[in-house]
Structure 1
Amino acid sequence: MKIFIAVLLALALSAGLAAAIQQDSGYILIAYGQTTVEMTIWVGVAVLTVFLILVILIFMSLRRGAKVSDSIGSFWTVRRAVRGRSHTTLGMIAFIEGNWAKARKLLTDSAKDTETPLINYLLAARASHALGDAPGSRHYLGLAEQTSNKASIAVALTQAEMQVENGRLEEALATLTRARRNAERHPSVLTLLKKVYIGLRDWNSLLALIPDLRKHGGISEERLAELEREALMGQLENTAQQGDTAALQQWWKHVPRNWHRDNGLLLSYCRVLVAAGDSASAEKLLRQSIKLSWHSDLVKLYGLIAGSDVARQLSAAESWRKEHGDDAVLLLTLGRLSLRNELWGKAREYFEQAYQLSPNSEVCFELGRLMVNLDEPAAAERFTQEALQLQGQSLPSLPQPSLSKLKE
């Protein structure tokens, strides 16, 4: 039905057009210079119509050509992207396997065809580092930094890690210091700084870093406590090298109060004080600490120190027997303090009680030495031999000269 109506309309339009041409054909004159063109108006309309049709056809052809070109370009773009992803994956596999040369080639060849060239260049820099190619590492790090304005931290971290691996800790510190200005609390920056400070034995900086590590480093409290203890021990060692008791005491005042009860740190500090010639301060600190918190290592060290008043020192230790009377370490300490006060019988009594509770090499050696000076050679020899056996250093059974035979 629609076709029929269209045919009728076309016929009617043709008939009308033919009638109009017969009635008045019109006239068109086009003059340009010495050239003139004459035609009826209906011929002009026909020429214009043909021209418009040609323009439309050309436009449609160009548009279709552009679509074909886009399709071809899209095809090659997708092909390059697929190839880039494939080579990047193969490059990562080679990198993990330690095939550095192959990894670098695959990663660099595909860097421009992948959406993540930063990763390609960073891994290529690491592969160059593994190959000992320092210029290559710097070159690829530079390319990595150009891939994005946000790549500076990743590049700095990669560079610092390689510097740490090469033992260039000062250079790594400079690199990380610059990176920290841009990302002060970046966990990876903080973790690497921790490693560098430990390597450089920069204990002051490590202690200053611990609060940030606690907030942003993702490190357990147990590990942070180990780091803080290591840093404090390092500070103590550095201060002890000065041989100045005033400096040691000043350091102890600045140690956080919660660390004053750490037995390991306290023992080390007291030993350093004794080595520096300040046994009195060490004795006082140990006495106060043992009163607050009993610990065998503290008690043992107390017996090895000569305080300013050895009588008072013995009296303080004897007061601890009310709560810890059956402690072998305390009895050993009491015996040693009795020796310092020249109370030989009391010292022997304490040593023997300690021996009965826990016979060990220290007690046996103390008894052996005391028996020698009390002119009891048989007992002295017996305790000395037992001490050696307890240490695993017993002498082999060999013939020995007899005193009676020597006199003959």
Structure 2
Amino acid sequence: MKRFAFVLILLIAIVGFFGWAIAQDAGYVLISYDRFRYESSFWIFLGLIACLWLLAMVVHWVLGLLHTSGALVNPWSRRHRERRVSKASRSGLRELAEGQWSHALGHLRSAAEHDHQPLVHYLGAARAANELGEHEQSDELLRKAREREPESGLAVGLTQAQLQIARGQYGEARETLNALHSDHPRHAYVLTLLQQLYVQLQDWSALCRLLPELRKHRVLPPARLSELELLAWTAALEQTGQASAPSNEDALQALNQKWQTVPSGLRTEPLLVRAYADGLSRLGADAKAEDVLYAALKRQFDDRLVERYGRVRGQDPARQLANAENWLKANPENAELLLALGRLSMRNALWGKARDYLEASLRFEHRPGTCAELARLLAQLGDNERSNRLFQEGLGLLDQSSSNRIQTTSSS
């Protein structure tokens, strides 16, 4: 209230001053230039200047309002276009995450066409089109993204490879990823996608060649990388051992060459040794397979290798049996070793010893395979009654094992 009274008094004083000044002297202003001539009193001229200043301020305010206005004042203003693009972007990205592919495609494509940085919108629209089965439109959107932002070749290429893998276009995805790998050899995600693609294609040889780069650039955790390395080399050996070749000698040479490329630190792994020995046996090189298994078992005893050692047909069955019996001293209750000894004893026609070993194996662990081996031996020895019982027992163990696997699968 006091401030209002003060302003009112001040305003009255100013008006009174101007009234007194005008009454004292109206003043005179003359402006002349060439043929132009302007005459007025000083106070009218001062009022004209004040009106011009006020007009300029109003024009400045109106222009600023038009520049920053929304749809009510100027529907075509730049700010309104940015709002529409932003709204389309938010809606499209949300719909993409929600799986509303058709709506997401429309909004993201519209946002991409009007945005100065359209990459994210084009990539999202391409994914939505791919989910709708519109593969040509998806590829076209990726092409536009590359044209609008030429420096985004890596992002576009990665998205294209992912979409090609999702479509099952593994050959095209491989070409795309190989091109990206050539341009970006250290890029972790390019290497990851290549690794996943090789596993999908079961191209184990290519994966084995990629493994050193995966380790060098630390693309995967050490434990996962070691697991993948073991899987890849094991599968590569199995694949080579099963591959068709013009001759058995060529296939055997390819298998031996593949074994030589296995990293030295992995050649003692039981899974790899077993895969190599299986390939040798399959190609008729049982003698070498027996040597490989024996050398590995001398370094480290392993049930999986013992099982193979009992099956492989070496050059000297007696020596093979003696080797296996030497391991029995340190592993007297090993059911797998006793089974292998039973099989080797049968190969040497030592029927009584074979029976003892197989029965001992059954005492420590009931297995269908052991029951079958002992049943065959007993049938050969004329004990048909017990042989039939063992066959039935083995079948029961197989049925029980199958039921357990089904229950485990159902519960998982």
**Would the TM-score normalized by the shorter structure come out above 0.5?**
yes
Q: Which residue of 366, 369, 374 maps to 2:373? A: 366
The residue that corresponds to 2:201 in the other structure is 200
The residue that corresponds to 1:224 in the other structure is 225
1:113 to partner: Cα distance: 5.2
Which amino acid is 1:119 matched to? V
Conservation of the 8 A alpha-carbon contact between 1:229 and 1:265: yes
Work out the percentage of aligned pairs sharing the same amino acid: 35
The residue that corresponds to 1:403 in the other structure is none
Aligned in 2, Cα 1:82/1:329: closer, same or farther, shift over 3 Å? same
Given the two structures, how large is their TM-score scaled by the length of structure 1? 0.77
Where 2:345 maps in the other structure, the secondary structure is helix
1:209-254 CA-to-partner distances (Å, cap 9, x unmatched) read: 2233335464223332333233323422342213422221221121
Conservation of the 8 A alpha-carbon contact between 1:303 and 1:333: yes
Aligned in 2, Cα 1:194/1:75: closer, same or farther, shift over 3 Å? farther
The residue that corresponds to 2:356 in the other structure is 349
Structure 1 stretch displaced more, 368-377 or 99-108: 368-377
Conservation of the 8 A alpha-carbon contact between 1:191 and 1:217: no
Q: Please tell me the root mean square deviation across aligned C-alpha atoms, in Å.
A: 3.9
Task: Determine which structure has more spread, i.e. the larger CA radius of gyration.
Answer: 1
Where 1:151 maps in the other structure, the secondary structure is helix
Aligned in 2, Cα 1:113/1:248: closer, same or farther, shift over 3 Å? closer
The residue that corresponds to 2:3 in the other structure is none
Where 1:121 maps in the other structure, the secondary structure is helix
Instruction: Note the residue ranges of structure 1 that are not aligned, 5 or more in a row.
Output: 19-27, 31-36, 394-408
1:176 to partner: Cα distance: 2.1
1:181-228 CA-to-partner distances (Å, cap 9, x unmatched) read: 443322222222223223333333322322333354642233323332
Where 1:391 maps in the other structure, the secondary structure is helix
1:101-127 CA-to-partner distances (Å, cap 9, x unmatched) read: 211222222335556422112111222
Which amino acid is 2:395 matched to? L
Distance 1:354 1:131 in 2: 60
Distance 2:216 2:159 in 1: 23
Aligned in 2, Cα 1:147/1:63: closer, same or farther, shift over 3 Å? farther
The residue that corresponds to 2:4 in the other structure is none
Structure 1 stretch displaced more, 199-208 or 301-310: 199-208
Distance 2:370 2:181 in 1: 56
Distance 2:209 2:54 in 1: 72
The residue that corresponds to 1:293 in the other structure is 300
Aligned in 2, Cα 1:286/1:108: closer, same or farther, shift over 3 Å? same
The residue that corresponds to 2:321 in the other structure is 314
1:284 to partner: Cα distance: 0.9
1:312 to partner: Cα distance: 1.1
1:67 to partner: Cα distance: 6.0
Conservation of the 8 A alpha-carbon contact between 2:96 and 2:104: yes
Distance 1:80 1:137 in 2: 26
Aligned in 2, Cα 1:388/1:129: closer, same or farther, shift over 3 Å? closer
Distance 1:383 1:291 in 2: 34
Q: Please show how residues 209-288 of structure 1 align to structure 2 within 5 Å.
A: 209-216=210-217, 218-240=219-241, 241=243, 242=245, 243=248, 244-288=251-295
Q: Please show how residues 9-408 of structure 1 align to structure 2 within 5 Å.
A: 65=59, 68-76=62-70, 77-111=78-112, 114=115, 116-216=117-217, 218-240=219-241, 241=243, 242=245, 243=248, 244-392=251-399
1:374 to partner: Cα distance: 2.3
Which amino acid is 1:165 matched to? A
Which amino acid is 2:173 matched to? A
Given the two structures, how large is their TM-score scaled by the length of structure 2? 0.76
1:56 to partner: Cα distance: 11
Where 2:312 maps in the other structure, the secondary structure is coil
Distance 2:368 2:237 in 1: 31
Instruction: Note the residue ranges of structure 2 that are not aligned, 5 or more in a row.
Output: 1-13, 71-77, 401-412
